[in-house]
Amino acid sequence: MLRTLYQLSEAQTELQRICDRIHTDQVIEQEATVREILNAVRRSGDEALLHYTTKFDQQTLTPSTLRISGAEIDTAYQQVSSELLKAIQLACKNITAFHKQRLPKNWVTFEDDGVVLGKRYTPVARAGIYVPGGRAAYPSTVMMNAIPARVAGVERLVMVTPTPNGHINPAVLVAAQEAGVQEIYRVGGAQAIGALAYGTETVPKVDVISGPGNVYVTLAKKQVYGTVGIDSLAGPSEVLIIADHTANPTHIAADLLAQAEHDPLAAAILLTTDSTLAEKVVAEVDRQLAGHPRQIPTEKAIAHYGIAVVVESLEVAAQLSNQFAPEHLELEVDDPWSLIEKITQAGAIFLGHDTPEAIGDYLAGPNHTLPTSGAARYASPLSTETFMKHSSLIQYSKSALGNVASAIDALTSAEGLPSHGDSVRLRVEE
């Protein structure tokens, strides 16, 4: 059952507990396991990759069968319905259009004294995309990670996904093809992250790794950061809904369950000014949970990380939301555009009664790879910039260099770096 809280202090304590739910003593042991796996892959390449795939996924592969063949992709197209194919293509179209708007532009400024300054963006050469394959199939994850990379101009897109039963959902393969992925390997877990980070005889080394996974995948991404870039350290999914008396309790219950069904660690939070609405939502959650196809994990999420909080005002709700910094924030209120002015920390914001979080998950266009576990305090959604880096451009004329020579001399003297000063002085004295 969804618990209802009425005391502000209790709500603050619970929100902090939920935010910290992934920080357990078990992580230390998991980190050691991940380190062992990564070191093995770095040392032994394919041999270690195949060993751990057999051990964890009960999948016996050879180097020649690691990569998904073109014939398998062709077969996948035959297995998906025309309706699903059209939905994937629509999602690709919308996601592409949105991320083209996010593409950063090079710029240069020319100063009157002969100084030229600018910034130049270039894509990474290779990007690796991790797509989970355990509890469910995620074609949306494929599109949300591959398309920004493709729009950024990445030349080589490499995807890895686990196949514990030897099967990849055809929708995932079709989504990968439509999104522009060139290579797909049937491996997952920390060993797949190691393969992408270090390269093996079969799997190429990449420059950036993106995509969510379980705790072992997340810890692996954390440990290889520095060898490669990563998008973020994704935790369990979460939604926070701010609602007033105008909200529909049936819709809110469905939105809470839409997050809870992801994972037993998923968080589903309601902040409302209307106690009657809170009561109706609690009852509606119970009703919709009865006979739910994913009832057990969904009930666990609701029981452990689901709460309804009755607050005295929308301003207080906004303050609590900012403290939690949710991955997904729904503003189910009469005037969401007024309330948004008070929101400073959220991954994605869904405004109004007809904008469920699911629209963002699948095909609205903005990325669904978002900061979790409070990371929205300092992090942003995945974008084209994730797969790009920029270089500063600097050019000085001799006269411009002479204008600042004395200032540079003073600074280099203060730091005790005489050759720095000489590199300027020798030029202006010629």
Residue of 183, 284, 299, 327 marked active site: 327
Q: Which of left, alpha, beta for 260 (phi over 0: left; psi -120 to 50: alpha)?
A: alpha
- What CA–CA distance (Å, rounded) separates 343 from 321? 8
Instruction: Tell me phi and psi for residue 229, to 5 degrees.
Output: -85, 155
183 assigned to active site = no
Per the CB < 8 A criterion, the answer to whether 387 and 149 are in contact is yes
Instruction: Using the structure block, give the residue that is written with the tokens 């004295």.
Output: 429
Neighbouring C-beta atoms of residue 3, cutoff 10 Å: 13
What are the backbone dihedrals phi and psi of residue 118, each rounded to the nearest 5 degrees, phi first? -170, -175
In the chain, count of helices (H) and strands (E)?
17, 14
Instruction: Answer whether 77's CB lies under 8 Å from 174's CB.
Output: yes
367-398: burial string, b at 16+ Cβ within 10 Å, e else: bbbbbbbbbbeebebbbbbbbbeeeeeeebee
Separation in Å, CA 332 to CA 18, 79, 285, 304, 340: 22, 38, 17, 24, 11
Which of 332, 302, 338, 346 is closest to 242 using CA atoms? 332
Rounded CA-CA distance 127/156 in Å is 6
Strands (E), 60-152: 107-110, 115-123, 126-130
CA atoms within 13 A on the CB side of 358: 14
Amino acid identity at 11:
A
- How many CB atoms lie under 10 A from the CB of residue 97? 12
Say how far residue 196 (Cα) sits from the centre of its chain.
Answer: 17
Q: Which of 328, 330, 357, 368 is catalytic?
A: 328
Q: How far apart are CA 205 and CA 190, in angstroms?
A: 15
CA distance 354 to 360: 12
**Total residues found in the chain within this entry:** 430
Q: Is 420 a catalytic residue?
A: no
Query: What is the three-class DSSP state of 155?
Result: coil
Q: Which residues are known catalytic residues?
A: 327-328
